[in-house]
Amino acid sequence: MALYAIHDESGKIKQANKIFAPTAAYEQQLRDLGQSFAVDPTAMLLSPDDWYVDVAGGALTERPTLPVVAVRTKIKAGGGDRGVLIGVPKAGKVTITTGGMVLFQDTPGATELEIPIPVPCVYRVAIALWPYRTYVAEIEAFA
Amino acid sequence: MSRGVVFQGGGTGLKIGSVEQDAASADVFDLLFNSDIQPLRLMGTGYVAVPSLRAYNWSPVWAEKSSALITTPSGTYPLFIVAGKQSGYGGTGYLQTPIHTGSLGFGAVITSNRELWGLNFSRDIGEPWQVDAIVNYCILKNYG
């Protein structure tokens, strides 16, 4: 039994295959396809949201956590009230969605985000920076 | 009236202990799957990450080839079960069975040479990038 984690040049896992009776032919098949992979004899199927391959060491590694803190997540809609996140990495890509629709996606380059919401709803704020886990917070605006 | 159990001979790889048994009088072990002829075993599980589309038109270049397929012995067939997580704009998505609506969907196809190709029909709108769809699968194999 072995887990094959196939990754790109940054170590992001693009495929993972848990093979219960691995053979040399299977590993050769991966090499023939030109794929980079790490092998772990005991790991179960690992989510790419939480794990990556440390390319230098060639080992499966847990993705670290971003030091973001949502200090204000319930605000009054409209007016001057704002949701506040601190500890945002300047290189982090911020994506704000509501109801699955994207409202904003960019790299603001700030360590603190202030987010006003014009109408009562929930904003989902995701901050992505490789190889950290994507940070997600919800900010709710009430009437 | 026939109560015979004829389970093989129709092209299926599934096997019972002994063929053409009369269900009323057969030994129970002849009606069970023979332990020496396991019909199906789990060969492997996995997932493949599939990027969202950047254009309206879908084409094979948008599929993501999985390497999970393993050569199976002649005369046997791998079976596949697929589930996944659809694309979304960061921090969204959850595991579900494949969906196909008018505007999005994901899943996988098995090609004639037994390769699995993950598909993601979600299309990015404008500049924002969606996260990859995650297409899960497990591979069952008839070891004959």
pLDDT for residue A81: 95
Q: Say what the ipTM of the complex is.
A: 0.81
A69-142, what's its fold? Immunoglobulin-like (2.60.40)
pLDDT for residue B1: 45
CA distance A64 to chain B (A): 16
Point out the residues of chain B with pLDDT beneath 50.
1-2, 9-13, 34-37
- Nearest-by-CA chain A residue for B43: A20
Whether the CB of B16 is below 8 Å from some CB of chain A: the reply is no
pLDDT for residue B32: 58
**CB neighbourhood size of B28 (10 A):** 8
Q: State pLDDT tens for residues A30-43.
A: 888 888 999 999 88
Identify which of B41, B49, B71 has the shortest CB distance to residue A15.
B49
CA distance A103 to chain B (A): 9
Residue A128's Cβ-count burial label (10 Å; 0-12, 13-18, 19+) is buried
Q: State pLDDT tens for residues A45-80.
A: 899 999 999 999 999 999 999 999 999 999 999 989
Distance from C-alpha of B85 to C-alpha of B94, rounded to nearest angstrom: 5
Whether the CB of A25 is below 8 Å from some CB of chain B: the reply is yes
Considering chain A, tell me which residue range(s) the CATH 2.60.40.10 domain(s) occupy: 69-142
Identify which of A15, A125, A126 has the shortest CB distance to residue B67.
A15
